[in-house]
Amino acid sequence: MSEGFPPRRLVAGLFGTLKLMQLYGRRHVATTGAVCSLAEAVREAAAEDGEARVAARGRRLQVNGQTMRARECGALALGYLAAEWGKRGIDQVRFQRETTAEDLETFIAAFLDVDVTRPEPAGRLAEALSAAKVTGIMVQRLAPEEREPVLLEERRESVMRAYLRGLRAFKEVLRCDGLRDRSRLRRARRAVQGVVDSFLEDESAVLALAQIRSFDVKLFHHSLNTCVYAILIGQRLRFSRRQLSELGLAALFHDVGKTAPRGGAPEEEERAHPARGARMLLEEGTSHEGMLKAAIAAYEHHAGADRSGFPRIPHEPHLVSRVVAVADAYDSLTAPPGPHAPLTPPDALARMLARKDLDRLLVKVLVNAMGIYPVGSLVELTTGETAIVQAPPAPEALDRPRVKVVRRGAGALEPDAVVELAAADGPRIARAVPAAAVFRSVLEHVSAL
């Protein structure tokens, strides 16, 4: 298909403008240039009918009723747009032929701005457009029953692939001498990028996967999950994509010093791993800015925000180290490496809030980002049923996420209806339940999501 095929140009224009505005913001010259080309693409695609319609049908994207093919438009752009439409519960967006570049700029900004973790994002997007007096772009929402199944299926698959890729790459890097092999290091970096990207795509799906590791508490999982929680905090601190990657890399390697034990007593080894890890990272990766931060975080992650930990340092730990310390603490408490029983997420968060060696503000950021009951975790309701948390709660009601009942009483697992805990007279969460008490395998846990 030629470059000039109007639906193709529209898809490329939407994809490019969304990505550029995400990367550079609204006023950057790259973004404004992309918005102008998008306006042209809309005019061309709307030439025949007076409007151009972009609709998502599951994984597929349709322009003017015609399904776009990966060969013509690129699988990445199509997948991204279909997923973003789906995330916002949008059925289709109709762009009138007369749509101006200013209107498109407003639309793209509002599209990126709308909080997808709260109910009815499509409706709120439409409201934002009418408040900004944009009349040439109509957002039509999906009927509620059409929304969730498609979304969960898609999310689970692509996000799980990125997560597992991360796990695999990291295992390879940590195998003996892994750090000396540059290509493995590169692969680890790419894997972190993949985790960051899938996180930006769908944060709750990645978090759900992090919940699942409690069956296997090996160092790989600990490192990758520390990476996931650190990215979550970084995102809430409005880190750029590049900063998120650096943070993710630092979190992934924070305990790398444990991979080269010298046979000392366990306590001695524990005390030695920060400096040892920093040395390993400095020896191998100084040419890369991200590796330098990783070395700092490896050295400082047990130093303590109040400097009560080890090693003793003469200054406040770097922000990256403090974020990694909070992420590390959360994963260590909810999936401890030793024989200790894991804490449930609310217990872990409560304990962390009371600790002086953790940056309290960052712990609060984590609580706010995850809710008290993270997506993928298990809870017992006041009705006696066991349920799995499916979606994060609204910020004003952190204790009331959306859940799905998986078991009634002591009976067998039975996937059941989704329960909104938001209703004033409805059931409440009585307590958090460890996943291992309900599921016998990771697969069972994943299938329940």
CB under 5 A: which stretch of 31-39, 64-72, 200-208, 323-331 binds Fe ion? 323-331
- Binding segment (CB under 5 A) for Fe ion, from list 3-11, 202-210, 325-333, 371-379: 325-333
Angle between the N-to-C axes of helices 219-236 and 203-212, in degrees from 0 to 180, rounded to the nearest 10: 150
Q: Of 185, 264, 199, 232, whose CA–CA distance to 345 is shortest?
A: 232
Max Cα-Cα span within the chain: 76
Q: How near is the Cβ of 252 to Fe ion at its closest, in Å?
A: 11
Binding pattern for the stretch 164-183 against Fe ion, x by CB under 5 A and - elsewhere: --------------------
Choice between 91 and 328, CB closer to Fe ion:
328
Shorter beta-carbon distance to Fe ion: residue 205 or 325: 325
- How far CA 128 is from CA of 55, 100, 109, 132, 425, in Å, comes to 20, 17, 10, 6, 32
Options 29-37, 251-259, 382-390, 433-441: segment touching Fe ion (CB under 5 A): 251-259
CB of 255 to Fe ion, least distance (A): 4
Question: Residue 311 Cβ, how far from Fe ion at the closest point, in Å?
Answer: 12
Window of 91-99, 126-134, 326-334, 377-385 that interacts with Fe ion by CB under 5 A: 326-334
Find the shortest distance in angstroms from Cβ 373 to Fe ion. 23
DSSP 3-state assignment of 60? strand
Long-range CB contacts for residues 183-190, cutoff 8 Å, separation at least 24: 185/284, 185/285, 188/249, 188/252, 189/245, 189/249, 189/288, 189/290
DSSP 68-130: --HHHH-HHHHHHHHHHHHHTTEEEEEEETT--HHHHHHHHHHHHHS-TTSS-HHHHHHHHHH
Interface segment toward Fe ion; rule CB under 5 A; list 75-83, 109-117, 253-261, 389-397: 253-261
Pick the closer one to Fe ion by CB: 91 or 255.
255
Interface segment toward Fe ion; rule CB under 5 A; list 114-122, 125-133, 159-167, 248-256: 248-256
In angstroms, rounded to a whole number, what is the distance separating the alpha carbons of residues 52 and 218? 51
Q: Which of residues 366-425 bind Fe ion (CB under 5 A)?
A: none
Q: Of 10 and 195, which CB lies nearer to Fe ion in the complex structure?
A: 195
**Distance in Å, CB of 15 to Fe ion, minimum:** 38
CB of 278 to Fe ion, least distance (A): 11
CB closer to Fe ion, 319 vs 446: 319
Task: Say how far apart CA 402 and CA 394 lie, in whole Å.
Answer: 10
DSSP tag of 436: G
The SS3 call for residue 427 is coil
- Closest distance to Fe ion from the beta carbon of 421 (Å): 33
Instruction: List the one residue from 44, 328, 359, 385 that touches Fe ion (CB under 5 A).
Output: 328
Q: Can you name the residues that pair with 387 across neighbouring β-strands?
A: 379, 405
List C-alpha distances in Å: 48 to 6, 7, 119, 128: 11, 12, 35, 28
Q: Which CB atom, from 103 or from 328, has the smaller least distance to Fe ion?
A: 328
Told to check if 255 binds Fe ion by CB under 5 A, we report yes
Pick 223 or 377: Cβ nearer Fe ion: 223
Q: List residues bridging with 92 in a β-sheet.
A: 55, 140
Q: How far is the CB of 175 from Fe ion (least distance, A)?
A: 19
Question: How many residues lie near Fe ion (CB under 5 A)?
Answer: 2
Give me the sheet containing 51-57, strands edge to edge: 66-67, 60-63, 51-57, 90-96, 137-141
Structural tokens at position 142 = 């999906």
Residue whose C-alpha is closest to residue 251's, from 219, 224, 278, 273: 224
* Binding segment (CB under 5 A) for Fe ion, from list 133-141, 159-167, 249-257, 420-428: 249-257
3-state class of 414 per DSSP?
coil
Nearer to Fe ion, 201 or 255 (CB): 255
Q: How many CB atoms lie within 10 A of CB 393?
A: 22
Give least dist CB 213 to Fe ion, A: 13
CB of 225 to Fe ion, least distance (A): 10
Nearer to Fe ion, 73 or 179 (CB): 179
- Which residue ranges make up the site for Fe ion (CB under 5 A)? 255, 328
